[in-house]
Structure 1
């Protein structure tokens, strides 16, 4: 087995304080020492962590959702996703909840694709990406009422070729959507060739820290 893997490491943290309390996230300032350098000071977003879902239907299409994102002033094509902001909620339960709330779907088959750090230079955010298949549409009377930016959702089941072309052309810029599309393409190629898909079970341990104890 390859030893090419990220290494968890906790330095000697000499000071840690919240310097800004935000509406969703806080900014924490920490001073810490490494063997190679001491007295380092870094500001970082204390993020709750998140989950995302790559939904693939029986026609091997991936579900994309268009949502307005104010920091980049754009309506981005994304995959269903959400924060780990419910106390004590496990990531898999959060993924099931987000799929129901954002896409009105339940899935019978789930696997883990990746655990990722999105902006590790400035945020503690990690995100677990799931693969979901075999869907059931939630009845109208049981659906979540979407509000704020989510009220403007647009949905599209895109073929993998169309989605891959959009990524390559720079037309889909959301990093998790890009990762989901590339990972789904890898999985479907492996399945078509009868090769191992190298997914993980939904109870596979996360190898990354998401910052929730300090949020």
Structure 2
């Protein structure tokens, strides 16, 4: 047993939504005291680093209500129940960008906010993309614009905080470390 384990005494569901499940757990701490933990359960998500034949990275710009501003990000989306991450990646790439691929390689996975959420984000990469003649429709409440940027342009957007989320910053750092651009 992990010496830092917190044992759940009671768990109370606060909200059960389309994307997240919020609960409050009463826990026993390793020192015997008790505490409350606010926890968001999330099904997980997938992002795709899609690189064009011209060595441009495909991004989407979309409005993020919690931030009250638009961000430029990797195409990404939530895992559907029982869906394999690779299929989520292809589905989101198609819906958000109109590109598809038959070749995704896993780069990494990480927990987005382990202090309060269990969301596991997978990042895949592909440089074998092609435009779809009739791409599938995206979510009806999602409005995105597609951008194709060089790595240097993406780094500039990071400096300007137009790219300002963890998954996309990670992808840019990863591509920079590869030195392939």
| 1:123 counterpart SS class | coil
Partner of 2:26: 31
- 5 Å-filtered alignment, 1:72-151, equals 72-84=67-79, 86-140=80-134, 143-150=135-142
C-alpha spacing 1:37/1:66, structure 2 compared with 1 (3 Å): farther
Q: Greater share of helix residues, 1 or 2?
A: 1
The whole-number CA distance in structure 2 between the counterparts of 1:110 and 1:23 is 27
Q: Is the 8 A contact 1:105 1:137 kept in 2?
A: yes
The whole-number CA distance in structure 2 between the counterparts of 1:51 and 1:110 is 11
Q: Which consecutive residues of structure 1, in runs of 5 or more, have no partner in the other structure?
A: 1-6, 193-215
Deviation at 1:13, TM superposition (A): 2.0
| 2:110 counterpart SS class | strand
Deviation at 1:37, TM superposition (A): 5.3
Instruction: Describe the superposition over 1:142-161 as per-residue Cα deviations: whole angstroms up to 9, x where unpaired.
Output: x21234442x3111110001
Runs of 4+ in structure 1 deviating by more than 3 angstroms, as ranges, are none
Q: 1:178 aligns with which of 132, 148, 169?
A: 169
How many residues of Structure 1 are paired with residues of Structure 2 in the alignment?
A: 179
Deviation at 1:136, TM superposition (A): 1.7
Instruction: Describe the superposition over 1:44-74 as per-residue Cα deviations: whole angstroms up to 9, x where unpaired.
Output: 2111111111111222211110011111111
Relative to the length of structure 1, the TM-score reads: 0.75
| Worse-matched range after superposition: 115-124 or 46-55 | 115-124
The whole-number CA distance in structure 1 between the counterparts of 2:88 and 2:156 is 30
Q: CA RMSD in A?
A: 2.1
Q: Is the 8 A contact 1:68 1:75 kept in 2?
A: yes
Q: Is the 8 A contact 1:67 1:149 kept in 2?
A: no
